[in-house]
Amino acid sequence: MMPLYAVLLSVGSVRIEQYFDGNDFRSLKSRIGKVAIPVLYVIGSLPLLPLALPILPVDQLISYTSKMGVNAGIRTNSVNIGILPNWTAHRFGWDDMMKEIASVYNSVPVDDRSRTGILTGNYCQASAVHIYREKYSLPEPISTHGWFYFQALRNHEFKLAYVTIGISHDMLKELFSKVEQRGMFSNPYCQPDQNNLPVCFCTGPKCDIKRRWLIDRHIDPKFSRYIDENGVIKAIAYFHALKKLDPSTLLFTERQINLLGYEYLSNGRIEEAIALFDLNVEE
């Protein structure tokens, strides 16, 4: 919510100026007010300045924020907080992360690097690669998180192998036949949920990665319509027929079918809910 204060300050400043313009500027009260308000604002802002700008060394910043509580009373999300406020902690560790990723990427034989990409779990990790990729001679990253999801679909040629960070081992095993941990990123100052992340080298895609990308956020539209128009039982039979023709057919993720099954369950459609859960177990 912090950026909203810029709007509030702008609106408040206009109102204050209107007030002074409506009074005799030559009066002592008006002259004092036009000086006092900016001075009070600056003085009142000074204690929070180290939280907004990187003006203190990190050890001093840790000591400073600990006196007010790590987040200084400003809560920005529900994730675990480390020794720094999360908006500050996100600035740390990028270079260390990139050294680990680059080390794994450069361990790939030169002839295979053109077929190797970088896949990250969220936009923070993808941003680190995006910013430092030229320094370390790395390709543009892909991620299903944020803007990078759409950028991958627009510009990226999906690869046969990936260096990954920030993705669970279970998810990697779902996507690739071979998953090797070759590095580990850690940094004492970064966010706890961004710390101690394995860096893996993954080969042998089990599915069409681009197809998996397309359905990451929504069930395949045609399959979703088929469910609506013909019901769950017929839709599952339709899916099985497609799989028989093409074993690589991919129309949904585990989470999507799980949520759909619970939706049917909550509506009392027990038989269809069980059929959907069975389909998930089967897949």
Q: Record the pTM.
A: 0.74
The per-residue pLDDT string of the chain (283 residues; one tens digit each, 9 = 90 and over) reads 778 888 998 998 888 888 877 766 567 777 787 788 889 988 988 888 888 788 889 888 888 887 777 666 566 666 667 788 877 888 888 999 999 999 999 999 999 999 999 999 999 899 999 999 999 999 999 999 989 999 998 887 899 999 999 999 998 998 999 999 999 999 999 888 888 999 999 999 988 888 889 898 889 999 999 999 999 999 999 999 999 999 888 999 999 999 999 999 999 999 999 999 999 999 8
Three-state secondary structure readout of the chain: CCCHHHHHHHHHHHHHHHHHHCCCCCCHHHHHHHHHHHHHHHHHHHHHHHHHCCCCCHHHHHHHHHCCCCCCCCCCCCCCCCCCCHHHHCCCCHHHHHHHHHHHHHCCCHHHHHHEEEEECCHHHHHHHHHHHHHHCCCCCEECCCHHHHHHHHHCCCCCEEEEECCCHHHHHHHEEEEEEEEEECCCCCCHHHCCEEEEEEEEECCCHHHHHHCCCCCCHHHHHHHHHHCHHHHHHHHHHHHHHCCCCCCCCHHHHHHHHHHHHHCCCHHHHHHHHHHHHHC
All structural domains of the chain with their residue ranges = 4-89, 94-212, 215-282
